[in-house]
Structure 1
Amino acid sequence: MFERLRKASQRVTKRENLGLGTFGLAPTQEKDTSLCGVIRREALLPDELNTTDFSKEQRKKRADAVKAQQEMDEQVLSVQLDASRMVDTFDPVPEVIRDYPNDPDMDEFWMIKTEGLLKSQLEIVDDHLNRAVSANYKDFLTGIRLIQEIDLDLSRSDIYIQNTRRMLKDSMETITIPGLSIANQRRKELRLRQVQSIIETFKDLTQVESTLQKVIEKGDIIKGVEIASQLESMIMSESLMQYTCLDPMRRRIEELWPQLKEKLIQNIRDQLINFDPVVYANVFRTYSVLDAHLLSMETQKMKKQQLEATPRTPAKEEEKEEDEEVKKLVKKKPAKKDSYCDVLQKCACGVIGDLAESGLKEYLLASKETILPRDLLLQMGYTQLCATVKAVELPKALRSVMLPIAAVLHNFYLVCQWHRKPFEEESYDLDALHRLNVMEHEEEEIGAEGEKDLAAYAMPDREGVSGATLLQVRRQLRVCRRALWQFSQRMINDFIDCCKLDSGTVHLVKEIVVNDLCLYFTQIGKVFCGSESAELKTKLAQKQCRYVEQLHVSTLEVFKNSLETEMWQPFPMKLAEMNGFPGLLQSTLAIPEEDDMFLRSSSSNVETVFVNWKKEGNCFEEGKKLQLRTAKHPDVLNSIDNALILTGVGINAFSKSVSKYIDLMLHMPLAADFVLAKLLNLVDYYVYAVTTLFAPSSLLNTLFVQTNGAEVYPHIVPFIRRCQSVFFPVEPVEVDETASARDLAERLTPLSALSPEAEENLGLPQPVLSVDESLLEENVEVRRIIAAESTRLFTALFAAINDRVCSLAPLAKSAAIQAYVRELPDMTHDLCRMFYRCSTYSVLKNLEAYKPMILKQKWDVRSAKKREAEYMEVIEQDMKGAWDMMNTASEEGRFTPLCVSRFWRVLMGCVLEELLSSFTEVKKCSQEGREQMGMDTNAIYNYATSLCDIQPADDAKDLKYVMDYLTCCKLEQPADVLAWAEKHKDDYSLEVVNSILNYAMAKKLNKQDLKDLKESIDRLYAEEEPEEEAEQPEEAEQEA
């Protein structure tokens, strides 16, 4: 059947050339060699194989058909090319006639089918063998060509050798053969040594490079820089530059330097976030080595470029032009690289920006006031985040920005401290770095900024870093501190600009707390680089002035509305003196008879000056009895004992406004002069409005024309001095107050004796309202009246200022309250300070009496039905009085709801602290007594909650503070008490725990168990004592 196949197998010796694998002696396995499943390839989906349709469905059918055809070919080849068929004894007849039908009618059909199958398989095998022969035939032809070329070369060589052999035969035997043998041997030896040396060098370089990769993968950048610098120095040496096989390694090292530098800069950023002197020393030394190495490599590269640009042979004109261009490029100075201090400054600025933005984002995401989506907040920049801060969140948001900035400045300050004595043992001690002042003796150690001769300030070389580099770094750090502080100020200025601090919607308490935070931040700048923070103070003062301007506009509007309801009323002088009327314009003169001589400003606009008097003789003659008839007081007899007095609506509004402005001057010192100007504007507004709207010129002349002010001025000068010392503290100048008073009196009085030219230079108060100009036309008396009344108002004003200055001391007289408030966090402490400044009352007057009254109680009884809880009544009375005072102040607008709530929480914590302190000193107490203590504490807390809703807070004592103590007193086992002490050792002192052992556990335990328990407690609290002792020197320095 396969005659061709058998003949081909007899002629071919290597079966591999036919595409057959080598076959061993393993016994052949019977395979299914049935021919029933094989058909002709032309009959296998001919439409799919031969079609020209390239639609998606048709392409899929064609691919499936090709795949089926390949599988069929592989099946046929695996069967027909089996090793068992390649022997002469193989008989294919049984295999062919295996499915022969016994039916004579089917013989012809079977023959046609079998013939087709055999032809199909024969074609498959034949194609496979043809391909194998063609492939090997190409190799065979290639080999033949190669042999022909070699044969040609050999023929030529043979002819050449025959021609030269005759000529060199004699010399070869005598000279050439011995010389060549010696030279060849020597050359082989030299080349072998050279090759061995180069191979060893390449091995070492490869080993160093692999070590470098491992070190970088581990993250040891410092060691990686050292290895990389050594490796590059080796491969860039003159001896190895000739080997081009090292060019890939050179490129890899050159690409590695930026990565190492970037990772080293990341280490610098980490040190600015968390400073460690040991790690920073390694980072600084490594960066110095890296910088020096890159500089040397750059210099070497420049020299190489210059050498290549030098022409070695006469060149053509075009080549000369190219050489000139290359020379120009070489002559160009390289770009200026950042120094170490520049990199350090950029890292610090970047860290400050990133941490400030992330801190503000975290605060806004955690805030309940934020209404923006989380994804939008995460995409916002710093200024956009500042613009989204609500007015109620300004202090906390500003604190979240200032804290990371202060932390980075602190670490940068420690870096500058370390560079004072780099690589010395003292520089690795953080406590020593904190104790030093970086600006102390700075000019003596490194010279002034503009000084060029630095020979006297030379520093020694340390740890491979030159002294010149160390001195240069320290001098540059002095400039970097100022630049970094300017950047920090700009961050705060951007916050102040974007958060609308000057808006009228910002509450006064928030404005003051922001001011306190900014002033505290300026103190950091003074310690950091000696800066006065003029930029931040200027920006803050501008915002505060705009805020005060808006506040002043609203104040004038309220004041104008109050003046519209003001009017004159007759009132007995004795009652006025007894009731302490605040009116300043009073008269004991007789009352005019006509009704239209009385003014009521409610019937007119305050902005219009209304003067309508009928003047017929002197109607204000003293002692004249006239009947007064008005709508409110129809039958009030006028007499010398009665007086014309204002109702007090305007003066009350004026007093409140003055008090508010004084608070602004105290809390906003940067804008105090502007607030004082607005205060004087308010005084002028009031004086001119009252004297113009409510008094005729004849009445004012009668009141003030006899007053020259000489008796008032000596009292004004000390008040002015005292207020200036509080608001604008400067170095005092010794001036005689009597002389100053005399000079002031000579300047202002008498106005009638002054010339018009001199009068214009006095700077008298100018009116704020639009008034009738006829009142001011050459009327010296009216201006004199205004000046005199301004003097009287200034006297009362400075007296009020003096009272407020004297009341700045804390209102709480109890030492316990002062100590408790001193331990509170900054925010609550600021609110308490605000409470002290806005209040003139005392709170919890009987706080010191709580403990004696509690110790007087009987706590060791089994039943408390007849007990008298006198101390609870005292506590409730104290709390009721404090709440009434705060509620009244809140209604008057002197306190904000937040201030009231927080301070009420502080007072409640103070009471609970006093209760616990008293309970710990009760020596005889039964179990029922402890229960009664808990019931009393709950009752007091519930009473406080009924007065005001106590807001939960972490910075003040809570009800749990007392109840946990009472719970521990009920424990029976020593292990439970010890576990309780371990859990609450941060909340309770050792004295409180000892009171539990001495008064509660002594009756429950024997002496040995009690002694062991005490020793365990002492050891537990003794572990914290070394840490507290270490913190005491720092606290002492901060207080100093």
Structure 2
Amino acid sequence: MYMLSLLLTDGVSEPLYFEESFNKQYVKEKLGKGLVRIWHDVQARVLAYLLGSDLSWYKFDEFLHILGIVHRLMEIGEEFCASKSEALQNSIKKQSSNYFRNYHHDRLEELRIFLENESWEMCPVKPDFTILQLQEFRSLRHILKTWKPRAESVNGRQTAVSSPDCSSSNHSQDGSSITGGYFARYSESGSPFDVGFDEVQEEDILANIGDEPSGYFSDESDEDIPEELKKDFVDENVGDTVINRHSKPNSKKFSRRELMKAPILTNTTLTVLRQCGKYLQMSHLLRPIAFEVIVCMSQLFDYYLYAVHAFFTTDLPVSFRSVYNLNLQTSLKRIQDSLVVPSHLTEAEQDQTERTVGEVPEPHISPVVDLTQRETLHGLAERVVAVESLIFLAKQLEFLHDYLEHLQGGSSFLQQFFSQTVTASAELRRPVYMCVAATAVDSKVILALMAKVNWEVKEVMSQHSKYVDILLRELQIFSMRLEEVVLRIPIPQEVYLILWESIIQLTCKTFVEGFSNAKKCSTGGRGLMQLDFSQFLSKLKKLTSIRPIPGTEYVEHYIKAYYLQEAALESWVREHNEYSSKHLLALVSCVCQNDKKTRQRLTALIEDMEIVGSR
């Protein structure tokens, strides 16, 4: 600049200043074009190394590390010369897609083995456990924590908006925010690639159960537990704690109230969650195959759902298949057709059959799981752990829903997956727990006892029938066995309600079935029916806190119909299609036993209604 000032005084400054400016612009343009060329050379060198390497031999964590380095290199290229590094991106996409297909196939096979060896015992995690505490979600914690609060509600649903993503260079390896680009941060020393594998951190997720029989409980408030289940619990097997290699126990002992709030999950559930964390990392680092990875992640949930259903509904009587709603049926059929290898094939045929990556053999329940003993309510503890762990898994996927939508783009796959399959997890409760409810009362014994009752008594009885006491005793035994199950695992309120509602409704149907078996019924017999059912209800209210008692109207309406006149009975028959033709024919036969013409007319009406399908 000093020389330029001298030239200015000599009067020749203007041409020289122009030349200097021109040279600077020329150099700038040359260097600008050179940036692209330099980056092209960098890509070519890295590309040659990637194409010359067999990445299939790498462990998944090592592969993710390589993927992270390439991902960071592409970020540097975008900052360096606005390059999208398409050649590098296409290469790693192809390598990753091939690697992931094989990896996912192995994980499905591994999941099948885990499920077939699962004893369905509760893994004792802390009450505040979340997936963000798992090592596999470490690099995504910042994103997932900041994603939800930045969501807006649209039509009652959460929709993510411009939440921070680690795709920019302003985030560290663990997802935390860092100010400035790579060139600003490493202008004086260091390199963006001076980073090794993430250190394995200890996970503080396991609850301290202790070695003493009562170590899991304290004397704190237990007001959240149903009244029937409040007992001084002593768990003989409470010391059998499953230890995870990443996890360390906490010294805190948990109260019964805290135990009721702890999530119910198994070691297999944790395995699936860890895999979801790994799949999510790959989706985040390589967005071009994010959709493929997310579809595969959904298959892990699909297979878990299918296995729980296959294991715990095989003993459901055919007459109770109505507990399946259409959504659950559709989801199970889709999973069976698209994911599960037909069970009729032998192992040799399965090996010879060319299977796609998304197919896995039919799972079989472990022989250590016994679902046949009445004393254990036909494996209620195992059923609860299985179904509720599935529901917990579904809730964790719901937590990831918005971020998964962001990763997979505009596809409608996730919307369908969550609205159908994920919601089906809670719908699986009814068929699984109905297997237990259906065995609580031996309806054949009760019906045989009801058949011995004289419903033609001339006077209204003051003493209820003997079968009522036997029926109540069976329900009392069920209640006692339910309390024994609670010694092993917490029973969620939803499960408690479904069990008792199902049992009571089945019992009410038994009442109507038994009443309909009466060939003749006098006025005194009708009064005895009312007395029996009233006695049943009064004692039942002491066994369960459910209010109102479900199914009472079903029985009461049927009993009251015995008091109707012939003219009113026809209208009643037309209106009450909740009863079977057998029940209505028996009712008509008793009410119109002295009026053959009316009896024949109403009988023809009931038969016609059955033919046209109005019943």
- TM-score between the two structures when normalised by the length of structure 1: 0.23
Larger Rg computed on CA atoms = 1
Higher helix proportion: 1
Larger RCO: Structure 1 or Structure 2 (Cα < 8 Å, ≥ 6 residues apart)? 2
- TM-score between the two structures when normalised by the length of structure 2: 0.36
